Amino acid sequence: MHARGFSASGVKDITDGAGVPKGSFYAYFPSKEEFAAAVLEHYWSDIESRLLPILDADGPAQQRIARFFHALADEHEAGDFLLGCLVGNLSLELGGASEPVRAELTRILDRWDDALTACLRSGQRDSGDIRSDLDAEELASVLIEGWEGAALRGKVTRSRIPYDRFESVTLPALLR
């Protein structure tokens, strides 16, 4: 589903890939949309456990945020930029068409917002390395929106350039 998208991934493709009978799919998921929501949850939980701790590490908030987005870009590059961000991919494909997927995307974006907001607030409050003229919650949302744009363009161009531009232009412009 990450590689081919929701529409191009049939239940038979999914069950064949998992090595289970097609009938088993519906024993676990009431619909393909519910499966997509579960895939999203798994995808984001993995990112939360491996990469979000960067935002809670020691050091200036601006550096932690830059390291976090750099690590995400490294993951996209490791896949030759073919997959993109599953959150962005399914937001575009199903965000307005599937309530179970939309609800899961909302939960994921809220969790991502919360993690970035906490880091931004610490930089505003403690070290002063994050600009304080912008609300931390608004800034977190804008960072995610900018990142998703870079991920989309990186997938299309199969290039690190949009990610590097996000890191060298967008982050400094928004955080300082």
Is residue 70 classed as helix, strand or coil in its secondary structure? helix
Domain 32-175: give its CATH superfamily: Tetracycline Repressor, domain 2 (1.10.357.10)
Cβ burial of 129 (10 Å; 0-12, 13-18, 19+) is middle
> pTM of this prediction?
0.90
Confidence of residue 5 (pLDDT cuts 50, 70, 90): low
Asked if 48 and 107 touch (Cβ cutoff 8 Å), the reply is no
**In whole angstroms, what is the distance from residue 10 CA to residue 32 CA?**
8
| Helix or strand holding residue 174 (H, E) | helix 171-175
Confidence of residue 16 (pLDDT cuts 50, 70, 90): confident
**In whole angstroms, what is the distance from residue 75 CA to residue 85 CA?**
10
Which residues have a Cβ under 8 Å from the Cβ of 37 and sit 6 or more positions away? 100, 101, 103, 104
Q: What is the pLDDT of residues 27-65, one digit of tens each?
A: 888 998 999 999 999 999 999 999 999 999 999 999 999
Q: What is the pLDDT of residues 111-168, one digit of tens each?
A: 999 999 999 999 999 988 999 999 999 999 999 999 999 999 999 999 999 999 999 9
Q: What is the pLDDT of residues 74-109, one digit of tens each?
A: 999 999 999 889 999 999 888 888 999 999 999 999
Please report the pLDDT score of residue 3 as a whole number.
Answer: 64
- Residue 8 pLDDT > 60: no
